[in-house]
């Protein structure tokens, strides 16, 4: 797997997620923050938080981009980037196109700016998402909303970034890092997980305890337009009683049927994972089992409602910014002559 960080925020998250990420920057100041890593720099001044300036930088450096990514073929690629900056947001489409051409599977982890950042971050985010829409059948995009996360963590950016990394790690490394080698009556393998995570479109996961409530996602919801869906039940690794496991398999089958009905047109994959359960999210205190649902190709209209609200705010603020200030002259021509000492 290849991990890429583009722009200052993207590089920070990539270094938190992976020991040896590929870092992309357009500003000298950004590279200073990552002295212990190799940073591929495309400009000394940066994009000035301007999406169009960033786009120009990438267009002028197409051959250099090709050179950096020339060895990445037939791989899983995770790209971290903020959508509010100029360089990171504008790089996502050209980098994704290049990686797709080389038969890679691409997952973009994109961070939406919070509303009080106003423009240009809000405007950049809308332009960035717009540039990715045509690629959605071939790339996966997972959005994080800084507006919500800032409130959740009371502006503690270390906790906020840690939360993002934890969710992405859980999504990608569900089987390799978060499951135990114990008996499972219905197994899952890495290729099945990858086929959903890198299946294209908007991707998200829910860890709602679905015996008690419907699965909740960051933006979208499960419906008949969902393209790919993976559902797993976690059974605590301490349970060794085969009769108990069989009982939970029956319950798992009932829950699977319930979810499969909601995503009747999707590729539906299900399995049981053995793991140490730290939290089940059960309101009734169930502690020996839990659930996760990962979906990709989620209904784009649900996302558009959220993104459209950001677009409207960005357009409104940009319109005010562009208005000419109407003011009368401070002094008239006669006064100007008098003051011309």
Does residue 228 belong to any structural domain of this protein? yes
Does residue 292 belong to any structural domain of this protein? yes
Q: 296-334 burial, b for 16+ CB within 10 Å, e for fewer?
A: bbbbeebbeeebeebbebbeebeeeeeeeeeeeeeeeee
Does residue 45 belong to any structural domain of this protein? yes
Instruction: Mark whether 15 and 131 lie in a shared domain.
Output: yes
Binned at pLDDT 50, 70 and 90, residue 93 comes out as: very high
Full domain range(s) for residue 248:
180-301
Instruction: Mark whether 206 and 161 lie in a shared domain.
Output: no
pLDDT score at 124: 82
Evaluate if residue 336 carries a pLDDT over 90.
no
User: How many helices (H) and strands (E) are present in the chain, helices listed first?
Assistant: 13, 10
The CATH number assigned to the domain holding 285 equals: 3.30.1330
Return all residues near 115 (Cβ < 8 A) that are at least 6 apart: 122, 147, 310, 313
The CATH number assigned to the domain holding 118 equals: 3.40.50.1440
Binned at pLDDT 50, 70 and 90, residue 332 comes out as: low
Bridge partners (DSSP) listed for residue 267: 228
Instruction: Mark whether 250 and 185 lie in a shared domain.
Output: yes
Instruction: Mark whether 135 and 198 lie in a shared domain.
Output: no
Does residue 334 belong to any structural domain of this protein? no
Number of structural domains the chain divides into: 2
Does residue 316 belong to any structural domain of this protein? no
Instruction: Mark whether 125 and 257 lie in a shared domain.
Output: no
pLDDT score at 337: 55
Q: Give the residue-averaged pLDDT of 277-291.
A: 94
For helices 121-132 and 87-101, the axis angle rounded to 10 degrees is: 10
Q: Give the residue-averaged pLDDT of 273-284.
A: 94
pLDDT score at 339: 47
Instruction: Mark whether 158 and 24 lie in a shared domain.
Output: yes
Does residue 338 belong to any structural domain of this protein? no
pLDDT score at 288: 94
Instruction: Mark whether 121 and 223 lie in a shared domain.
Output: no
* Per-residue pLDDT reduced to its tens digit, 24-61: 987 766 677 788 888 888 876 666 677 888 888 888 88
Domain boundary among 172, 193, 227: 172
Does residue 46 belong to any structural domain of this protein? yes
Evaluate if residue 324 carries a pLDDT over 80.
no
241, 202 contact by CB (below 8 A): no
Domain boundary among 172, 207, 232: 172
Instruction: Mark whether 131 and 150 lie in a shared domain.
Output: yes
**Measured distance between the N- and C-terminal CA atoms of the chain, rounded to whole angstroms:** 72
More confident residue, 259 or 219: 259
- Which two structure tokens, joined as six digits, stand for 155? 């502006």
Instruction: Mark whether 237 and 97 lie in a shared domain.
Output: no
More confident residue, 319 or 66: 66
Instruction: Mark whether 112 and 80 lie in a shared domain.
Output: yes
């Amino acid at each position: 797997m290849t991990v890429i960080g583009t722009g200052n925020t993207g590089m920070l998250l990539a270094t938190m997620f992976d020991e040896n990420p590929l870092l992309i920057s357009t500003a000298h100041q950004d590279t200073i923050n990552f002295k212990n890593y190799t940073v591929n720099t495309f400009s000394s001044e940066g994009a000035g938080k301007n999406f169009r300036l960033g786009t120009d930088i990438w267009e002028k450096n197409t051959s250099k981009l090709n050179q950096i990514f020339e060895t990445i073929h037939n791989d899983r690629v995770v790209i971290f980037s903020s959508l509010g900056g100029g360089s990171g947001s504008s790089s996502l489409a050209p980098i994704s196109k290049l990686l797709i051409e080389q038969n890679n599977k691409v997952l973009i982890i994109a961070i939406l700016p919070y509303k009080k950042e106003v423009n240009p971050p809000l405007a950049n985010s809308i332009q960035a998402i717009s540039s990715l829409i045509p690629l959605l059948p071939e790339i996966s995009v997972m959005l994080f909303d800084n507006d919500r996360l800032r409130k959740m963590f009371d502006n503690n950016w270390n906790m906020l970034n840690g939360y993002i990394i934890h969710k992405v790690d859980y999504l990608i490394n569900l089987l390799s890092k978060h499951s135990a080698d114990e008996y499972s009556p219905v197994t899952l393998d890495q290729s099945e997980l990858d086929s959903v995570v890198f299946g294209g479109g908007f991707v998200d996961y829910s860890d709602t305890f679905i015996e008690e409530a419907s699965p909740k996602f960051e933006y979208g919801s499960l419906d008949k337009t969902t393209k790919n869906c993976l559902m797993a039940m976690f059974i605590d690794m301490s349970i060794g009683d085969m009769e108990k496991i069989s009982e939970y398999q029956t319950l798992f089958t009932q829950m699977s049927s319930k979810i499969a009905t909601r995503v009747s047109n999707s590729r539906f994959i299900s399995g049981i994972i053995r793991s140490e359960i730290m939290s089940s999210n059960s309101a009734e205190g169930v502690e020996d089992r839990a659930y996760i649902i990962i979906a990709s190709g989620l209904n784009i209209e649900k996302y558009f409602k959220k993104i459209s609200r950001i677009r409207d705010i960005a357009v409104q603020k940009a319109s005010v910014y562009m208005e000419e200030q109407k003011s009368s002259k401070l002094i008239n021509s006669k006064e100007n002559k008098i003051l011309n000492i």
